[in-house]
Structure 1
Amino acid sequence: MATPVERKEYPISMRLPEADVAMIDRAASLRGRSRTDFVRDAAVRAAEEVVMEQGLIRMTPEGFAEFMEVLSRPATSVPEMVELARRPAPWEPGYPAKQ
């Protein structure tokens, strides 16, 4: 007799208006995904954002003072970032043509 296997996936059932399902199906199709994959990914991303918003950062008073000191220092430029910011955007005149 086969031994039972512990379930690793759990069904979730929702009732949605037809317009919502149509929008989800359209978006899933544009991404080349199934409705289930699209909804699962969107729900997990939203859940991760909420959990990350609730994360506390704990510091000792000394650590906080050091953190504030670093933030209070004058900014230093990063040459590569300055050059990147000066490049024209693809939609601007002067953008290099594809070769």
Structure 2
Amino acid sequence: MATNAERKEHPISMRLPAADIAMIDRAAGLRGRSRTDFVRDAAVRAAEDVLMESRLIRMNSEGFADFMAVLSGPATPVPEMVELVKRPAPWEPGYAAKD
């Protein structure tokens, strides 16, 4: 008698409007992915974001004091970000598209 192996994948079924399916299919096609892969990846990324937002960070009072000192100190400029904010926006005069 054969024993049932534990299932590694579980199906999820959704009812979506045709417009949503069309948009998902178009986006999946642009990424070269199947609808299933695209939706799975999007759902997993969204779930990870939610879980990371709700994650509790614990530290002792000394670690918290160090953390607050860093937050209260002066910001260190990032040269690439400084250059980026100095560039004109596409709708501003002087904008030149970069390759």
TM-score, scaled to structure 2: 0.72
- Whether 1:42 and 2:42 are equivalent positions in the alignment is yes
- Tell me how large the CA RMSD over aligned residues is: 3.2
Distance (whole Å) between structure 1 residues aligned to residue 18 and residue 80 of structure 2: 47
Partner secondary structure for residue 21 of structure 2: helix
**Aligned runs of 1:18-97 on 2, under 5 Å?**
18-76=18-76
Taking only the aligned residue pairs, the percentage that are identical comes to 69
Residue 69 of structure 1 aligns with an amino acid whose one-letter code is A
Would the alpha carbon gap of residues 76 and 23 (structure 1) be closer, same or farther in structure 2, given more than 3 Å must change?
A: closer
Partner secondary structure for residue 57 of structure 1: coil
Residue 67 of structure 1 aligns with an amino acid whose one-letter code is F
- For residues 54-76 of structure 1, the C-alpha deviation after alignment (integer angstroms, 9 at most, x for no partner) is 01111222211121123333445
The runs of at least 4 consecutive aligned structure 1 residues that moved more than 4 Å come to: 75-78, 80-85
Distance (whole Å) between structure 2 residues aligned to residue 72 and residue 22 of structure 1: 48
Distance (whole Å) between structure 2 residues aligned to residue 28 and residue 59 of structure 1: 42
- For residues 49-98 of structure 1, the C-alpha deviation after alignment (integer angstroms, 9 at most, x for no partner) is 000000111122221112112333344567x758976xx7xx9x8x9x99
Would the alpha carbon gap of residues 59 and 84 (structure 1) be closer, same or farther in structure 2, given more than 3 Å must change?
A: same
TM-score, scaled to structure 1: 0.72
Q: How many residues align?
A: 97
